[in-house]
Amino acid sequence: MTSTVPAITARGVTVAYGARVIQRDLNFTVQRGDIFIIMGGSGCGKSSLLRVLMGLTRPAAGSICYGDRDLWGCSPAERNSIMRTTGVMFQSGALWTSRTLAENVALPLERYTNLSPADIQELARLKLALVGLAGFENFYPSEISGGMKKRAGLARALALDPEIVYFDEPSAGLDPVSSARLDELIIQLRDTLGMTVVVVTHELDSIFTIASNSVFLDAQTKTMAATGDPHRLIKNGPEAVVEFLTRGRSRHGEPK
């Protein structure tokens, strides 16, 4: 019944820090089951937009709707309940450092479910196994590598079986192989669990592997240059987008 309503609708969103506008007048929709990429050059405001979408900072103007609920137009309690339908994998994992990996995954479950402690343990073990961290349940975040922290962060993001998962620069700091594995994992999450995925990235390989839709933020004009499937944008998008997607080679001949 709600399948025709987009998962996320952004209308006229302006992202600003005080008087400094980062991006203005952003309009895009994320459909259910999309793998939606927020792309653009360094410093164009991708991560700031992500914080606004996640509900961590209030946009300076415009609205963000999850389904038909307005994230910033509803009560704090309802905003909290919307935020619980999303999971976030932060750039560096952002694990709670005073807790073990299993406790990190278990905390949201303890908070929002009535499961028995034993069930919560099982679930935490399962989520960690899903991201390839079986056996690391009792390790503390400081004892594992950066890539593992990211995966543990993903396990925690999946704790409450969210409808939407956000990834902030998933491939940053990962070697090409781990990065490709993470891309596979993202596609699997969408295909098997039916999640909607929003990814902030500027990695072209990853964009063309996973994307079904995207928005391109332009650092120069401080607004979006285009929205759509990057596979189509590379052929008939605006010049700035084509240049980005072809690694700046569009004017010097065929892209790779």
Partner 1 sequence: MKTAMQPDFRLSVDNARILVDISGDWRRQTVETHDKGSAQQLIQAAERGFDSYRDAACIEIHADRLDGWDSLLLAACLEIIRKAQARQISVSYAHLPEGMVRMLDMAVAVPPKDQQGTRTAPGFFELIGSKLTACPAIIQNLLEFIGDLAASIGRFLRGKASLSSRDLWNIFRECGADALPIVTLTCILLGLILAFVSSMQLKLFGAEIYIASLVSVSMTRVMGPVLTGIVLAGRTGASFAAVLGSMQVNEEIDALTGFGISPMDFLVLPRVLGMAVMTPLLTLYADIAGIAGGFLVGVLMLGVSPTAYMDNTLEFLKLSYMWIGLLHALVFGFIISMCGCYQGIRCGRNASAVGRATTTAVVSSIVGIIVSTSIITIIFTIIDI
Interacting residue ranges for partner 1, rule: CB under 8 A: 51, 54-56, 79-81, 83-84, 86-88, 90-92, 94-97, 107-108, 110-112, 153, 156, 160, 220
Nearest distance in Å: CB 196, partner 1: 16
Closer residue to partner 1, CB minimum distance, 79 or 181: 79
Nearest distance in Å: CB 158, partner 1: 12
Closer residue to partner 1, CB minimum distance, 34 or 103: 103
- Report d(CA 130, CA 47) in Å as an integer: 26
Closer residue to partner 1, CB minimum distance, 112 or 231: 112
Cα dihedral 143, 90, 163, 68 sign: positive
Closer residue to partner 1, CB minimum distance, 158 or 215: 158
- Report d(CA 140, CA 129) in Å as an integer: 16
5 CB-contact burial (10 Å; exposed 0-12 / middle 13-18 / buried 19+): middle
Nearest distance in Å: CB 234, partner 1: 24
Closer residue to partner 1, CB minimum distance, 86 or 178: 86
For residue 104, the surrounding DSSP H or E stretch is helix 101-112
Cβ contact 104:89 at 8 Å? no
Residues in the chain: 256
Nearest distance in Å: CB 98, partner 1: 8
Nearest distance in Å: CB 80, partner 1: 4
Query: From the CB of residue 163, how many other CB atoms can be counted at a distance below 10 Å?
Result: 18
The set of residues, in sequence order, having a beta carbon less than 8 Å from that of 32 and lying 6+ positions away, is 3, 6, 7, 163, 194, 196
